[in-house]
Structures are given as structure tokens and as C-alpha cells.
Amino acid sequence: MAVKMRLQRHGSKKRPFYFIVVADARAPRDGKFIQKIGTYNPLTVPATIQLDRQKALEWLHKGAQPTDTVRRILSFKGVLYLKHLLRGVKLGLFDDATAMVKFQAWHEEHEVQIARKNEEHKKAQRAKRIQPVYRKVETAVEPAAPTATEEA
């Protein structure tokens, strides 16, 4: 049985809200699933993602294939990086403690970047509200006809 990690759509018309689920590849998009591992709300700025990192990692180790969107979400949350580090531990490149230190360093840096982007977005939104938008109105200006005094 092929297993996929994918989004299951909920919410009303034009107001999407998604569950991140592990499901049989043959099941319909909003149909039967094996396990729910998180949620994704694209309407908030920034998009709200809640994900059980351990469950996602377990399913990746079992061979579940994420869809493109879920792969981006897993990458954003660091699950794919953690899987990469654990592969290095398995190959004997470094130990478990070193892998966790590397992941924690990445996670802290990532959180700082997210906070900075959120602050920049809030500043831009405040600037939009404060500054009124003035539109330049172009008027057609015809050249003045030469007067009699100018010709002489």
C-alpha cells in the first residue's frame, strides 16, 4: 500500500483550512486517512502551521511520500533537515548529541528569521495604513499659440 502525506481540505467556500494527514494514495482527497499529523491555515499572515514533528518523522522513516506542498511545510518546520541529520548519525558521521545541537542551532536561527519577517510585514502594513495614496492626475496641456507680439 502506497502511503502519502498530504493536505485534506476543510473550511467553507473561499476560506480553506487544511489538515496534514497520512493517507493511502488511492483514497480521495477529503476521504479516509490513517493519521492526522497537523494543520495548515494559509489565510493568516504568516500562514499558521501546527505539526507534530515526531509523527511526521516516523512516517517519513516508514516510507510515506509527501506531496509537494507538504514537502515545503516539512522543510519549513525542519522535519526534512532532522531526517537528514539522523541519516548522518546512522551512517556514523557524527553522534546523536551533535545532530541535536546542529538542529537546535538551525531552529533558533530559523525562529529569528521568521520573527524578523513578521516584524517587517507588520511595519509595511502599518505604513500602508498611515500613508494615504495620492494619485497623480495628468492633464493634457496644449502648447500656447504664439501671440502677435512674439512674432514681431
Higher pLDDT, 110 or 149: 110
Whether 16 has a pLDDT exceeding 90, the answer reads yes
User: What is the residue extent of each domain of the chain?
Assistant: 3-130
Q: What is the pLDDT of residues 23-80, one digit of tens each?
A: 999 988 888 999 999 999 999 878 899 999 999 999 999 999 999 999 999 999 999 9
Give the pLDDT mean for 83-99.
Answer: 93
CATH no., domain 3-130: 3.30.1320.10
Q: Where are the beta strands (DSSP E) in 25-68?
A: 35-41, 48-51, 65-66
Overall pTM surpassing 0.85 (yes/no) = no
pLDDT of residue 30: 85
